[in-house]
Structure 1
Amino acid sequence: MKVLVIGSGGREHTLVWKLAQSKKVSKIYCIPGNGGISQIAECVSLDPLSFPELTEFAKKENVDLTVVGPEIPLVGGIVDFFRAKGLRIFGPNMKAAQMEGSKVFAKNFMKKYNIPTAEFEVFENSGDALAYVEKLSRSSKQAGKFSCVVKADGLAAGKGAIICGTKEEAMDAIRSIMEDRIFGDAGNKVIIEEKMEGEEASLIGLCDGETIIPTIPSQDHKPVFDQDKGPNTGGMGAYAPAPVVTEEVYCWAEGRIFNNFLKGVKAEGI
């Protein structure tokens, strides 16, 4: 079969690398690809956000399956566009992609369907957000330590969550996102949420709207410097399996997160 991969990063390089190992795959295209990908697939210089060009290419080359890596085309509705043209494509539709495209959408979904998540508040202007931080600061003086996470609502290349250890850091984050517009329209809204303590891990599942197939647990390292120092990035590296996800943790996540997520997806018609 012929496979088209959309994207140009390390994620897409890994997808192409793995697809190339399958005996069922005879040809791999990547749009636009990169230097590393070009060694194992044919890179095509097209705009990954020009859906008409992409579908025209897929039809012309008799592509059997398209796999999408980046969030932006998914949030933009590439899956819906391909399916409307009768083309097979792997990825969430536009509505489901809002889970990644809008943190506000995702947090409200989690709250509605009893999926464990950090306590949070949503703000649409910097004044209200700054006033909330002042309130947090006053209450934290009694607790002895200030901490929160300020998040841009929309896509920010993995850099939209700013961990703040002081009131000043939180206020700077709000002003940078909402007033200086460092993430553009992604910062039209911000979430201010409690900082969760502990070791982070990822448990990813493949969902068709009816069932979820979990993958092995992994651990993604986001801070730019060693020892988890510095601002977050889209990811400095990851490994799997992650031993922090014990069988007990895995079973808890399956029951409290995956099962409730699936109930929500079905109820919302996603």
Structure 2
Amino acid sequence: MKVLVIGGGGREHALVWKMAQSPKVEKIFVAPGNGGTRDFAENVPIGVNEVEELLTFAREEKIDLTVVGPEEPLLLGIVDRFEEEGLPIYGPNRRAALIEGSKSFAKGLMKKYGIPTARYEEFTSYEEAAEALCEAHYPLVLKADGLAAGKGVVIVRSQAEAEKALREMMVDRIFGKAGEKIVIEEFLEGEEVTLLAFVDGKTVLPMEEAQDHKPVFDGNRGPNTGGMGAYSPVPHLPSGWKEMAYRTILFPIVEAMRREGIHYRGVLYAGLMLTQEGPEVIEFNCRFGDP
């Protein structure tokens, strides 16, 4: 079996390392790969967003399976293009990837189907959002609607902090188009944990939980990053939380998408907060975490 892995981070290094242990895999390509993947696979100088070039490579090399690491090519529709050409690929299609690509889409889906998450409002007008902040109780969470490399979520503890973050997102456009719409939501208290699952559109197969740490400085201080580190399993979590998360979040969100005509196939990443009322969704991602 010949496999193509798309991506160039620690996530792809881990995937390639594990795939190389399978007797079914005879050759692995990684596009673009990195210094670590070179030990187990052949790096290919094609960027993750060069969909047509990746498609051509997979066809010419007769790739048996393509696995997509990062979210950007998923939202560009790489799965849709490969499937149009009859090439096997693992990951959600463009519409399904909106679960990560649009915070407002994900929140609206959760609200419609009763999946536990923080209360929220969404805004496309800077003036209306600023007015809402004047009447808000703090702390709050401000989120850019689109992709922002893991940096588009800001916890604000005062009106001054909130107004600064709002201006940066909607006026200064530090996240570009991702900040054209924002979500303002309540701040959830509790233990944060990540639960990932393999999904085929109907069946949900959860993995072991993990805990990642996003703030750039020690002691959970500073702005969020895409991730400074993670570990698994996570000790000292409340008993029964995982079964509750399956029952109230993972299975219902896949069923919700199915009812909306969305066939989700790929890895589903649920960022959760274990509150006193039970697990609640902070965010969904449409791929493996990195790190």
TM-score scaled by length of structure 2: 0.88
CA distance in 1, matches of 2:8, 2:142: 29
How many angstroms apart in 2 are the aligned matches of 1:97 and 1:127? 30
Aligned-partner Cα distance in 2 for 1:105–1:263: 15
Deviation at 1:226, TM superposition (A): 1.4
Other structure's SS at 1:200 match:
strand
Task: Give runs of aligned pairs for residues 34-113 of structure 1, distance below 5 A.
Answer: 34-113=34-113
Shift of 1:48: 2.1
Greater gyration radius: 1
Residue 184 of structure 1 corresponds to 176
Determine the C-alpha separation between the residues in 2 that align with 1:242 and 1:221.
12
**Matches of 2:96 and 2:212, distance apart in 1:** 23
Instruction: Summarize the Cα distance change of 1:252–1:188 in structure 2 as closer, same or farther, 3 Å threshold.
Output: same
State the alpha-carbon separation in 2 of the partners of residues 147 and 84 from structure 1. 46
How far off is 1:33 after superposition? 1.0
Aligned to 1:232: 224
Indicate the residue corresponding to 1:143 in structure 2: none
| Match of residue 128 from structure 1 | 128
Q: Indicate the percent of aligned positions where both proteins have the same amino acid.
A: 53
Comparing both structures, which one devotes a greater share of its residues to strand?
Answer: 2
| Residue identity matched to 1:106 | A
Aligned residues: 262
Give, in whole Å, the separation in 1 of the partners of 2:237 and 2:21.
28
Does residue 166 (structure 1) correspond to residue 137 (structure 2)? The answer is no
Amino acid at match of 2:205: I
CA contact (8 A) 2:8 2:33 kept: yes
- Which amino acid in structure 1 is aligned with residue 35 of structure 2? G
Task: Return the match for 1:147 from 135, 139, 143.
Answer: 139
The 10-residue stretch of structure 1 (14-23 or 227-236) with the greater mean CA deviation from structure 2: 14-23
Q: Using the alignment, how far apart are the partners of 1:118 and 1:191 within structure 2?
A: 11
Higher helix share: 1
Looking at structure 1, the residues matched to 237 and 18 of structure 2 have their Cα atoms a distance apart, in angstroms, of 24
RMSD, aligned α-carbons: 1.1
- Could you tell me which runs of 5 or more consecutive residues in structure 2 were left unpaired when the two chains were aligned: 263-291
1:24 aligns with 2:16: no
TM-score (norm 1): 0.94
The answer to which of 180-189 and 221-230 deviates more is 221-230
Counterpart Cα distance in 2 of 1:24 and 1:73:
26
Any runs of at least 4 consecutive aligned residues in structure 1 with deviations exceeding 3 A, and if so which? 244-247
Measure how far apart 1:263 and its partner are: 2.1
SS of 2:150's equivalent in the other structure is coil
Deviations for 1:82-135, whole angstroms, at most 9, x for unmatched residues? Answer: 011110001001111000100110010111111100010000021111100001
Partner SS, residue 80 of structure 1: helix
Following TM superposition, by how much is the alpha carbon of 1:242 offset from its aligned partner in structure 2, in angstroms?
Answer: 1.4
**Structure 1: where are the runs of 5+ without partners?**
141-145
* Alpha carbons 2:202, 2:255 under 8 Å: kept: no
Deviation track 1:217-243 (CA, whole Å, cap 9, x = no partner) reads 111111111111111110111111112
